[in-house]
């Protein structure tokens, strides 16, 4: 960063600080991963200087001959990876991509059906009132059962009664396989479009360790980071099923992305997406995806053995959610304590959560980033021991009434957070984490 250090030392120093932080901690937020040096070089390239509104061959600016080649390459590589006939690589990220699908296919007030946030769904899947998807469209949410699993029989009855225009099969904190064939049958029975949001699962699908939605869904959306190890972008795919339902579906998606919701695409990101697609086509990537799942299963088994409770009782994919209700702990306090110990996770709602999302009753953690570092099942056993020790160290709230009001939650939370800041054992674990991380350096 020679030029940056000369021009803006303050920002350069902060970037170096973040590099050090990432090297010395266990990044276990399931939606985070490490990009390759090649991806970072593409994203940081001169391509960021170019405006390219429109599609390859149909731009509104001159000077896009090479840009067209880059974008066409990204499209071709993703078509081959997923076996789809139509793709748009221009969405800025997953939330705008889902919004583009709704914008293309729905009128204001028409109905979306998605998995509820506390059940492991995403905000853009119709979360009511506070989101674009929940405010401008009618939203009906389905939920998991008390055991943390989707009941497809109940879902079928709900869809038959509500008749949504779009049903979203996708999650952000659901640790089990999604049955895309059942979603397709249920949605198509009422004439709904079936949108598969595989943002968390894309890399696992490519690796063959999670079922693919491509034979069943009309539209498939994925972000390009998470298990794909690419930059922060997104792609929207139209399947053969979708084109049979609507031959103009691809064109509708293109127009919704631009000019419907966006201006010029970020071609430096698209170049990074092309690079990550090439990396994902290598045999080594399949081994990576397999190890992600093996690590997650090993981590889950060891967490259960340490006395912690997991939503749905385990995992089939790359993530798990620790349910802290029986421990009487706030998720935000547990996440802060784990970070103090060098283990980075995120607070997360659990099914039937009595607490609001900012506090939540769960912790979400996963294995994509630590697997990218080369860690395997042996390290999962060590990590689970640290996680269990940190959580069991925390002081529970006496009863739910103590944290049911905004004021009491804030007071209890602050007192608990103050108690962990200078805890000696958390500092010791942080040192042990750092020693482990040194054995598995980040590229």
51 is catalytic: yes
Query: Of 23, 40, 50, 51, which one is the catalytic site residue?
Result: 51
User: Are 262 and 90 a contacting pair, CB within 8 Å?
Assistant: yes
Hey, how many other C-beta atoms are within 10 angstroms of the C-beta on 327? 18
The active-site residue out of 197, 254, 340, 379 is: 197
Q: List phi, psi (to 5°) of 112.
A: -110, 145
d(CA 269, CA 262): 15
Which residue out of 59, 226, 327, 347 is catalytically annotated?
Answer: 226
* Residue 369: closest CA among 39, 22, 27: 27
3-state secondary structure (DSSP) of residue 55: strand
Query: Which two structure tokens, joined as six digits, stand for 257?
Result: 């992305």
Whether 53 is a known active-site residue: answer yes
Paired strand residues for 88: 236
The CA-based angle 134-137-140, given to 5 degrees, is 65
- CA-nearest of 20, 77, 29 to 372 is 29
- The residue annotated as part of the active site, out of 24, 53, 110, 309, is 53
Which residues lie closer than 8 Å to 190 by C-beta, 6 or more apart? Answer: 159, 160, 163, 164
Residue 122 CA: distances (Å) to CA of 39, 95, 98, 115: 27, 9, 10, 7
Residue 15 in tokens? 């970037």
What is the distance of C-alpha 197 from the center of its chain? Answer: 10
- The rounded distance, in Å, linking the Cα atoms of 224 and 270 is 10
Exactly one of 223, 227, 239, 345 is catalytic; name it.
223
Question: What is the Cα–Cα distance from 144 to 318, expressed in whole angstroms?
Answer: 19
Find residue 196's DSSP bridge partners.
169, 220
> Of 111, 232, 255, 325, which is the active-site residue?
232
Residue 197 annotated as catalytic: yes
407 is catalytic: no
Q: Residues with Cβ < 8 Å from 330, sequence gap 6 or more?
A: 324, 347, 355, 359, 360, 361, 397, 403, 409, 412, 413, 416
| 176 neighbors 316 (Cβ within 8 angstroms) | yes
Q: Which residues are catalytic?
A: 51, 53, 197, 223, 226, 232
């Amino acid at each position: 960063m020679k030029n940056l250090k000369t021009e803006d030392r303050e920002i350069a120093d902060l970037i170096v600080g973040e590099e050090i932080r990432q090297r010395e901690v266990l990044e276990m937020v399931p939606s985070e991963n490490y990009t390759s040096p090649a991806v970072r070089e593409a994203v940081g390239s001169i391509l960021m200087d170019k405006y390219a509104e429109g599609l390859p061959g149909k731009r509104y600016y001159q000077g896009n001959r090479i840009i067209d080649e880059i974008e066409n390459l990204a499209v071709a590589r993703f078509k081959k990876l997923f076996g789809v006939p139509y793709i748009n690589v221009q969405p800025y990220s997953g939330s705008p991509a889902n919004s583009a699908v709704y914008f293309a296919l729905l009128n204001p007030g028409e109905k979306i059906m998605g998995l509820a946030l506390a059940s492991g769904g995403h905000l853009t899947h119709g979360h009511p009132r506070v989101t674009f998807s929940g405010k401008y469209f009618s939203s009906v949410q389905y939920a998991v059962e008390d055991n943390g699993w989707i009941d497809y029989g109940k879902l079928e009855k709900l869809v038959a009664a509500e008749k949504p225009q779009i049903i979203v099969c996708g999650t952000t904190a659901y640790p089990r396989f999604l049955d895309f064939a059942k979603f397709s049958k249920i949605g198509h029975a009422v004439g709904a479009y079936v949108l598969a949001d595989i943002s968390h699962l894309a890399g696992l699908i490519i690796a063959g360790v999670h079922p693919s939605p491509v034979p069943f869904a009309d539209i498939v959306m994925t972000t390009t980071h998470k298990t794909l190890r690419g930059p922060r972008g997104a792609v929207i795919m139209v399947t053969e099923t979708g084109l049979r339902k609507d031959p103009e579906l691809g064109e509708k998606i293109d127009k919704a992305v631009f000019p419907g919701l966006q201006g010029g695409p970020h071609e430096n990101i698209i170049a990074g997406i092309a690079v990550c697609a090439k990396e994902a086509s290598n045999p080594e990537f399949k081994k990576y995806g397999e190890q992600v799942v093996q690590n997650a299963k090993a981590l889950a088994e060891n967490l259960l053995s340490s006395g912690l409770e997991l939503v749905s009782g385990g995992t089939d994919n790359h993530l798990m959610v620790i349910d802290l209700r029986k421990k009487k702990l706030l998720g935000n306090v547990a996440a802060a304590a784990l970070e103090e110990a060098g283990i980075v996770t995120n607070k997360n709602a659990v099914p039937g959560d009595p607490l609001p999302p900012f506090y939540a009753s769960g912790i979400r953690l996963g294995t994509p980033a630590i697997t990218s570092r080369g860690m395997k099942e042996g390290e999962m056993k060590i990590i689970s021991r640290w996680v269990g020790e940190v959580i069991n160290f925390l002081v529970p709230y006496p009863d739910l009434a103590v944290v049911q009001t905004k004021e009491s939650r804030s007071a209890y939370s602050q007192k608990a957070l103050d108690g962990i800041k200078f805890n000696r054992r958390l500092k010791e674990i942080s040192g042990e984490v750092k020693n482990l991380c040194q054995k598995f350096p980040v590229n």
